[in-house]
Amino acid sequence: MKALISLLLSCSVMLTAHASQSAEEQEGVPQVAYVTLAPALVGNFGEGARLKFFKADLSLRVTGKDNEDKVKHHEPLIRNQLVMLFSQQTEAAMAAPEARETLRVEALKQVQAVLTGEEGQPLVEDLLFNNLIIQ
C-alpha cells in the first residue's frame, strides 16, 4: 500500500512539473493577436457625378503584446492612411475579387510604411478584410 501511495505521489509530482514547464514554454513564445480597427472605416470613392461609398471592417495581425499596443497607439494615423487609400480607388478596383486582393496588399504596405516611419519597423504581418461593402 505504501508503494502504491509513493508511486502515485511521484506521478503527481512529475505531471505537475510537466504542466508548469509547458506553461513556461508557451509564455516564451510570442502570441499572435488581431487588432480590429473599430469602428469600421467609412467613406466615399470613385469619380463621376454619383457618389459611391465603402465600409471596410479590417483586422491587423501582429505578434506579441508589445506590438499590439504600439499598433493600437498609432491607430488614428493608420485609419487616416487607409481612408485616403480607399477614397482614391475606382469602382473597378473595389468590386472585382482580384482587385480587392490587390487593394488588400496595397493597404498592408501602407500600414507597414506608416508603422516603419513611426516605430522603425513594420510591426503588422498581415491585413485582413473582415467585410468590405461598396455601394
Rounded to two decimals, the pTM is: 0.76
| Widest distance between CA atoms in the chain | 90
Q: Is 33 left (phi over 0), alpha (psi -120 to 50) or beta?
A: beta
- pLDDT-derived band at 125 (thresholds 50, 70, 90) equals very high
Residue 22 pLDDT: 42
Please tell me the CATH code under which domain 32-134 is placed: 3.30.479.30
Q: How far apart are CA 89 and CA 100, in angstroms?
A: 10
The pLDDT, as a whole number, for residue 94 is 84
What are the pLDDT digits (tens) for 42-81? Answer: 999 988 788 899 999 999 999 999 999 999 999 999 999 9
Which residues 6+ apart lie within 8 Å of 126 measured at CB? 60, 61, 108
Task: Give 74's strand partners.
Answer: none
Distance of alpha carbon 88 from alpha carbon 15, whole angstroms: 59
Q: State phi, psi for 59 to the nearest 5 degrees.
A: -130, 145
